[in-house]
Homo-oligomer: A and B are copies of this chain.
Amino acid sequence: MDMEFCCTPVFEGVIEEEDAVETARALAALGDPVRLRIISLLAAAPGGSACGCELESPLGLSQPTVSHHLRILRESGLVTGHREGRWVHYQVVSQRLDEIREVLAPPITVGV
């Protein structure tokens, strides 16, 4: 079961309520200091991935809380998790970040 994510640019006409909700969900997932640090930690980890247990200590948060944030990032398509024995290796989905950056990109200048 794969997911459908938002891609509607903010600057091509007035964004519809429904599309705005989807896009806002992705941006809200990034709008939390803990989740930004998780992304940063994963990207900086050797091989670009780390298990949840490696995040608790640097974040200074409990295991359920880290798991909670990872779930939100997963549901927003910003990270993926692959089970490897007892561990789940998480890594950043850079394509997804590119998509979100595109949503905020300035309008296509047509002359002027």
Q: Interface on A for B, CB 8 Å cutoff? A: 10-11, 13-15, 17, 20-21, 23-37, 39-41, 43-44, 58, 94, 97-98, 100-101, 104-107
Query: Nearest Cβ distance between residue A35 and chain B, in whole angstroms?
Result: 8
What copy number does this chain have within its complex? 2
Residues B17 and A24 in contact, CB atoms below 8 Å apart:
no
Residues B27 and A41 in contact, CB atoms below 8 Å apart:
no
Chain B residues, Cβ within 8 Å of A100: 104
B14, B21, B41, B107: the one within 8 Å of A58 (CB): B14
Query: Nearest Cβ distance between residue A61 and chain B, in whole angstroms?
Result: 11
Residues A20 and B37 in contact, CB atoms below 8 Å apart:
yes
Chain B residues, Cβ within 8 Å of A106: 94, 97-98
